[in-house]
Amino acid sequence: MSEQKKNPFRELENSLRTVPPELRQKVMDDVAMAKLLMDLAFLVTDNYPSAVQGLLKTNNKNKYN
């Protein structure tokens, strides 16, 4: 019972390598562009529900009375 099992996380830690700076910068730029596109899409689509609600809202006051 005193037999120790191998810890897979220690093996993962030992197998880490450094990433080339060019590849790291490319990945970071791609992530930044994706975040920008998501933010722009949110800004464009965020107001749609209130705009549709405003178009479909009826006025209860009768203008002709």
DSSP assignment string, 38-51: HHHHHHHHHTHHHH
Calculate ∠ Cα 27-29-33, nearest 5°: 115
Residue-by-residue pLDDT tens, the chain, 65 positions: 446 788 888 877 777 678 889 999 999 999 999 999 999 988 888 777 777 777 787 766 655 55
Q: How far apart are CA 52 and CA 6, in angstroms?
A: 60
Per-residue confidence (pLDDT) for residue 7, from 0 to 100: 83
Q: What is the pTM of this model?
A: 0.50
Per-residue confidence (pLDDT) for residue 52, from 0 to 100: 78
Per-residue confidence (pLDDT) for residue 14, from 0 to 100: 73
Per-residue confidence (pLDDT) for residue 1, from 0 to 100: 46
Long-range contact pairs involving 24-32 (C-beta distance under 8 Å, separation at least 24): none
